[in-house]
Structure 1
Amino acid sequence: MLLVLVGIITLWPMTTTFAAPDLHVSVKTGLDQKTKDGKGAPIVFTIENKGTAFAGDLIVNTTTSQTGGVGQSIALAIGEGEKQTVTLTVDSIQDPMMYGNPVKKNIFFYENGWKSGEEVPHSGSQLITSTTFPEQALFIAGLADNIDRLSSLKDLYLKGREGTQLLNLTKLDQSPLPSEPGGWDAVDIMAIDNFSIADLPSKQQDAMLEWVKAGGTLLIGGSQNVAAEAGVFSSLLPLEIKDSKEFAPTLFNDKFKDPVPGFQAEKLPDGTILLQQDDTILAASQLVGSGLVLQTTFSIGSESFRSSTGVKSFWTDLLNKSSQQLKQRSSQIYYTPPTDDLMWTVGETNELFPSFKVSTPLLFGIIIIYIILVIPLLYLFLRKKDKREHAWWIIPVIAVVVSFAIFAYGGKDRLGNSQLQHSAVYLVDPDKTLSGYYAESLLTDKSGDFTFSIQKPSTVTTNSSMNSIFGTNISALDRAILEKGATEEVLSFRNLGFWNVASIYGQTELEAIGNFETDLKLEDKQLTGTITNNFPFSVNDVAILSGSKTIELGSIPAGETITVEKEVKATALGARSSSQNGYMSPVANNQDDLIKMRKEGLMSFSSIHMNDSLKPTLSATTGTQIMELSLNDRKAKNSPISMLLQPIDIVTKLKGTVTVDGDLMEMQLLSSSGYPAEEMDEVSKEYLFSEKEYSQTWQLPLDFAEEVESWTKLQLFGTDFNQYDVSVFNVKTGSYELLEGKSSPTVEPASDYVSKDGKVMIKLNFNDSQLGEPSHPPELRLTGEVAK
């Protein structure tokens, strides 16, 4: 009996040791197993448990920069012998080798949760991998009963894009469609043909709608039952479909040979017709938030349409035209993702707190007084008292007291409460919703964990002073954990030190809360009219941005209107210019300087990543924190700055002689094979040309195209004849004419070179030896006379 008892006691620990979960994992990443670098994606985990029951957290490490990233967590419970499929939507997918430190594992399991549990090893996939494409690739998500019906959308070359990927999302082994907007983050266009959105679960439909509102394009082909099949988009269609009819091939382009089945249609009140021939509507769109619904009246999957040799050209023209209604970033060869750039242009100044600044003269004065007291005065005093032997303990005590006083003075604003600085910049969309970027910086008053609640939908990444690209490679889950809830995101910074700085960055969207109502007119270089603040808070630093000009207008209280009377040195106002890349923070002398630096950082960032409208921009700031983002269970002093940007219309009354510079026009550079030139620097306007021939097309604003009676002069500035020959298209003769001479060739008169719809076309023919070299394309200036 004693031997049996001893055996039980001996074997019991071994039995306990072997009783553990045995998890095997397989992973599918992205849509159709494809992802975009830096974009969000759904990750589908298939987890089989061959051991005892597991209850805890699955954590995936995500990285967004050299010092940024989070461990994204999802609660999980898998019984013994069970198999589960779990979908986690991450805000960013990036190459594990991107930042030089090879990552061998980014999937982790913690039993009993990440806060108190221990990691449980697993077999199978240890690292999330996928076929990753650059951010500039065009992703078209295909939803059709047969993906071949959408084959005409393959291999398109659109402005600012690097190739096209058509994603087959309805094949048999495809994972379920995303039920979170972030799962569609990599997609640019969602193409629908013979597919009923209405049959999808409401959560998936809502995710599609939120994705469109965030800037996506829903392309839906002509169908007799399109209103019923469109589901959540049924009230957002730009067209009402009528009777069926056949469209003549000439309605599309001269390369179409066979009739295309379609439908008669009427434009609905909020729709905008994009293509129309006589009384036949081919396509229309309707803006939805920052995105749009693009509807055709013909079947995009019909054999006669998709097999035509002219279909690629047709799609290129239509999709480029529709994209002009959206906020589009130009193609840049050295493009920095917005969140990465946010860390530098906004984050560096946002992490400078007023309490960091200690008065140098005061400290110097304390040290001088300390020296005077300790050396001559103390000596004289002790000598007079004949107590010089006490100097050995008095001097150290004075040193400690003075050091403590300096510490207390320097840290008086950092003791007792943490400090927060919130900086955000938003675009005001036509439907009064806001979309933009934010940075939240924390200065801790003690060590420990710090937890934030962040509104949805928002992307979240982090940066903290415990991270260093030159120091220890700290795993993202050891820095911060992100838990996604139904109504908010919860971010927990882990083990922050005393007086550490940590920051949160991301993109966010807000429901309709207000806008600026403008009624402005520019005539004889006088800007007049009114601006009404329809936001529920006062705004300061109100200004109109056009080119490099800033027209300052002051402040507007909530709900009030100001009258504008300003003299401007321009006959028209257009899009604002981009600030210099690589914003460098100046030195701050006081708190006002810090506030100014934060505003300048927001302005610099937005000029690069939120500057795609051809209209002037109304800008303003407020000391109100607009988005919901809060530090939980701790007291903190907050300093918020929110910047608002809204493209506005200004009625221009043209008289006499007018001059139109390039910054008032839209410019497109395409090679003879349809590829856009790569923009190397948005400020210097330097491009990389990889083909021999490029077409440069300038589009005048509508006011000038309609009101200018004759164009008297055409000038091209910055022309580099050493690298390319320049020809200008003569509308009257239908041919290009070679220009020669200096760097600023001039054509007078110029009416024959401006089309009725306001286009000027330039052809650049590069020397063979200059291909692949950076170059400056010409800048256009037109001078004309307005009709009396």
Structure 2
Amino acid sequence: MSFYTRRMRMMLPLAALLITAMLSLALPAQLVFADGPGISIKSEVGYEGKVKFDKWNPLKLTLTSDQDISGDIVLQIQSQNGAGFHTSYVQHVELPKDTPKEVVLGLPGTILNKDNNQILFYEESYKKGKPIPFASGKNYVQANPYNGALIGVLSDDPDTMNFMNVLNGKGTSVNIIPLKAAGIPVDAMLLSGLDVLVINNFASDTLSEPQRQAIVGWVNGGGTLVLAGGAGYAKTAAPFAEIAPVTADGTTAVTALPELEKLGGKPLKLDGDFTISTATPVKDAKTEIQASNEPLVAVHDYGQGKVQYAAYDLAMEPVSSWAGHPAVWTSVLQGSLPVGSQNMYYNPLIDNLNYVLDYFPSLSMPSFTPLLWMLIIYAVVVAPVLYFILKKFDKREWAWFLIPIIAFIASGAVYMAGSADKTKELAHTINIVEMNGHGSAVKTTATAFFTPRSGNYELEFPSGMYLRTSGSRSSFGGGMDESKSFVRKNPDSTTVELRDMSQWSLAKVWAESGSPEELGRMETDLKLDAKGQLSGTVMNDTTGDLTEVVLVIGGKGYKLGDIPKGGSAPIPQDPKQILNFMGGDIAGMLYPYSQNDDKYRQRDIISNYTFSKGTVNTDKAFVLGWNTEHLTNYTLKKQAVRSDQLNFWVQPVAMTWGTSGKINVPYGFLAPEISQVNAPIFNAYGNGIELGQGSLIAEFPLISDQEVVYSEFSIKGIKPNNNVKMEIWNAQKNEWEPVNGSGNELKVTENPERYILNNRIRFMLNANDQTNFQMPELSVKGEVKP
């Protein structure tokens, strides 16, 4: 055997070992599991497996160990682009031997399967120990976000509200979820996956006090609670007396419900006595339907949400299975339930604002001019100056070490110039403050955290916050890095640990809380005179000064300018201060694009806010404004992170009608509300509606705080295009009538009351093909009853 052959045989094992080592470095690291006790796991996701897109949903884990052990349960969710685990949700748990332990985590509504998430148990802590494999059960979560309406029901009869299932079909999706008292979370945020919670003929005192508070907090944050039960109403509503629309005082029997029959549009025969509860509406509550001079349906706003009262048992026959019952409750719950198919253009607000956070006011790229001068000076010094000096002293060989030294100094100068504002942790925070007009507001926060150095960072947020993170972005617009973030809810704080952050990168955190904050309101005094002219004032009763305040109402934007705290501004009459938004883009008109654009954040926030809400920009009246006060602070090593903050304040507003006894409401003030869609495609976005072949039913709500005798009404836009035809509901005849107005407008001056049902005008739009159009508009005239 030759020397060469022997040498090759000796080298081959070494080469194989080297290749194996290199491959092991190239492949992603796999988890190394520790030996330990046998732990079984069971999971229950959302409500009957339903999770709501872009909402926080409960994930109930039941763990059982064959030994006493304590540690961290960790749910790791992978980023959408698949680049490593995105966010890990952590909770410490003590597992006594052979004793099932229930753990509830908040789960963001997104698509989850065995390929993009996993559940791990670390003995002691995820920071120290190794994961212990589960002896049985799935170590991952499966969830597919549900985009239809979710109605939770607490009732002695599990079939309560099942009559709403008849709405399921082409373009509409409703899911009724029977609940048990034990299934109600103790955290309001974990109820946010429900659109409506119905409590009907149910002993609500079986709920614990934390559960009751969670329901009240959920309503305060925007939920809709229905309290009903007829003869059993008292036991239903007793724990919720502070937010109920009525004070119950007994029961009575009726033999007919004509008001309900008209709203349902179908004959209703009771076949004898039908028991309803009797009650007195509380202050500020509105009676929507009456029966025998008793409130049959009433509503009371509470915080961001509302509480509905029904005087009868929703499961009681013959009303429960009555063919008109679904139409009644689609009208009663109008605005509380999503309608139609999911808007295909809808994205979570966090996704839409993600790139806005890149506009970091405190950070900027180095100015080109100083860098250019540094380059010129370096070139001059290194080339002619250094050459002539060394030549004069006959030391040209010194160039071998002087040029590297000068280059080193020049590089240091360039680095110092470019990193002057990048040596400390910084934050760029956007707060969206949604006021309810009664003094409290729901605040949602998006923040970008800048890391001046590589390493690990642990940020501490106030208690009760729910956090989501997105991948870090390196070097001001560079690619997305793998984000390793661990979120833990503690009794007194919520922390997020950001691991392996690279130098000069941004970690983005989305923070939400189920508890409204007392941040004040915009007090409005708005009036329409007999000529339909708007006047009044807007007062800033929030916690700070507001800039660039705008009132959006009637399809127009009234620029009110800056309003200091405690100050007010009149509604401008100068046409230069009034923008016509009808059919236009609010964001683009308020903040037009320009060459020196310094309002890009404001424009993008308004655009993304209205877009992500899936609503038509001009269909609601609201006031908006801005300030830069510090509304959200988080800490790093117990020190507040220096932050640039931009706060977007928005609040719906109400109108005072008929100040002179005359009612004259122009087009644009009474916006239609869609109650039912029967089409494969439905989207409300930007400035209009997209509808597939099918129909939608909507209602114009009329003036509800006064009794009005209407003398005429007009509907403009009755022929949106050649693909759409309109019908109007005749409440006297209980039937649909085709609309045949003059041109593109219907004007009714003779007996307009025949089209008014429950203080609403109902219409239907039928599309014979997929199409886009603007919703019709309504104007009314009449007199207020003395």
Q: TM-score, normalised by structure 2?
A: 0.81
Q: Which amino acid aligns with 2:654?
A: D
* Structure 1 counterpart of 2:91: 74
* Structure 1 counterpart of 2:110: 94
**2:239 is the alignment partner of 1:241:** no
**2:157 is the alignment partner of 1:140:** no
Determine if contact 1:707/1:786 at 8 Å carries over to the other structure: yes
1:323-342 equivalences under 5 Å are 323=335, 331=340, 333-335=342-344, 340-342=348-350
Cα deviation for residue 133 of structure 1 reads 5.0
Q: 1:44 & 1:542 partners in 2: Cα distance?
A: 44
Which of 605, 609, 613 is residue 602 of structure 1 equivalent to?
Answer: 605
1:287-686 equivalences under 5 Å are 287-320=301-334, 323=335, 331=340, 333-335=342-344, 340-345=348-353, 347-350=355-358, 352-415=360-423, 417-465=424-472, 474=482, 479-508=484-513, 509-521=515-527, 528-546=535-553, 549-568=556-575, 596-609=599-612, 615-634=620-639, 636-651=641-656, 660-661=666-667, 664-668=670-674, 670=676, 675=678, 678-680=681-683, 682-686=685-689
Determine if contact 2:528/2:657 at 8 Å carries over to the other structure: yes
**2:165 is the alignment partner of 1:165:** no
* Structure 2 counterpart of 1:4: none
Q: Which amino acid aligns with 1:334?
A: N
Q: 1:130 & 1:639 partners in 2: Cα distance?
A: 39
Cα deviation for residue 634 of structure 1 reads 5.0
Question: Measured at CA, do residues 552 and 720 of structure 1 come closer, stay the same or move farther in structure 2, by a change above 3 Å?
Answer: closer
| SS in structure 1 at match of 2:242 | helix
Q: 2:359 & 2:471 partners in 1: Cα distance?
A: 10
* Structure 1 counterpart of 2:193: 186
Q: Which amino acid aligns with 2:737?
A: Y
Determine if contact 1:425/1:436 at 8 Å carries over to the other structure: yes
Determine if contact 2:90/2:488 at 8 Å carries over to the other structure: yes
Question: Measured at CA, do residues 236 and 708 of structure 1 come closer, stay the same or move farther in structure 2, by a change above 3 Å?
Answer: closer
Deviates more, 1:108-117 or 1:641-650: 641-650
Q: 2:283 & 2:719 partners in 1: Cα distance?
A: 45
Deviates more, 1:289-298 or 1:36-45: 36-45
Count residues with an aligned counterpart: 732
Determine if contact 1:346/1:605 at 8 Å carries over to the other structure: no
Q: 1:291 & 1:307 partners in 2: Cα distance?
A: 28
Cα deviation for residue 65 of structure 1 reads 4.8
| SS in structure 2 at match of 1:148 | coil
* Structure 2 counterpart of 1:213: 220
Question: Measured at CA, do residues 572 and 663 of structure 1 come closer, stay the same or move farther in structure 2, by a change above 3 Å?
Answer: farther
Unaligned runs of 5+ in 1: 1-16
Determine if contact 2:231/2:312 at 8 Å carries over to the other structure: no
Determine if contact 1:426/1:644 at 8 Å carries over to the other structure: yes
Which of 254, 263, 269 is residue 257 of structure 1 equivalent to?
Answer: 269
Cα deviation for residue 558 of structure 1 reads 2.5
Question: Measured at CA, do residues 206 and 129 of structure 1 come closer, stay the same or move farther in structure 2, by a change above 3 Å?
Answer: same
Determine if contact 1:63/1:93 at 8 Å carries over to the other structure: no
Q: 1:406 & 1:718 partners in 2: Cα distance?
A: 65
Determine if contact 2:70/2:95 at 8 Å carries over to the other structure: yes
Q: Which amino acid aligns with 2:743?
A: P
Deviates more, 1:526-535 or 1:269-278: 526-535
Q: 1:632 & 1:450 partners in 2: Cα distance?
A: 9
Cα deviation for residue 299 of structure 1 reads 1.9
Cα deviation for residue 696 of structure 1 reads 5.9
Q: Which amino acid aligns with 2:155?
A: A
Q: 1:735 & 1:162 partners in 2: Cα distance?
A: 21
Q: Which amino acid aligns with 2:283?
A: P
* Structure 2 counterpart of 1:10: none
Determine if contact 2:199/2:236 at 8 Å carries over to the other structure: no
Q: 1:479 & 1:203 partners in 2: Cα distance?
A: 33
* Structure 2 counterpart of 1:9: none
Q: 2:577 & 2:569 partners in 1: Cα distance?
A: 22
| SS in structure 1 at match of 2:64 | strand
| SS in structure 2 at match of 1:282 | strand
Q: TM-score, normalised by structure 1?
A: 0.81
* Structure 2 counterpart of 1:719: 720
* Structure 2 counterpart of 1:121: 133
| SS in structure 1 at match of 2:363 | helix
Determine if contact 2:202/2:229 at 8 Å carries over to the other structure: no
Determine if contact 1:451/1:492 at 8 Å carries over to the other structure: yes
Question: Measured at CA, do residues 680 and 527 of structure 1 come closer, stay the same or move farther in structure 2, by a change above 3 Å?
Answer: closer
Q: Deviations over 1:477-526 (max 9, x none)?
A: x6111111234322221221221110101433432231122224456787
* Structure 2 counterpart of 1:61: 76
Q: Aligned-residue CA RMSD in angstroms?
A: 4.2
**Identity across matched positions, percent:** 18
**2:204 is the alignment partner of 1:203:** no
* Structure 1 counterpart of 2:743: 745
* Structure 1 counterpart of 2:771: 775
Q: 1:750 & 1:451 partners in 2: Cα distance?
A: 65
Cα deviation for residue 724 of structure 1 reads 4.3
Unaligned runs of 5+ in 2: 1-32
| SS in structure 2 at match of 1:465 | strand
Cα deviation for residue 679 of structure 1 reads 3.3
Q: Deviations over 1:208-248 (max 9, x none)?
A: 11111122221111355645653541221111222321123
Deviates more, 1:36-45 or 1:190-199: 36-45
| SS in structure 2 at match of 1:139 | strand
Question: Measured at CA, do residues 627 and 336 of structure 1 come closer, stay the same or move farther in structure 2, by a change above 3 Å?
Answer: farther
Which of 34, 40, 44 is residue 56 of structure 2 equivalent to?
Answer: 40
Determine if contact 1:728/1:753 at 8 Å carries over to the other structure: no
Determine if contact 2:445/2:511 at 8 Å carries over to the other structure: yes
| SS in structure 2 at match of 1:355 | coil
| SS in structure 1 at match of 2:520 | coil
Q: 2:382 & 2:642 partners in 1: Cα distance?
A: 39
| SS in structure 2 at match of 1:736 | strand
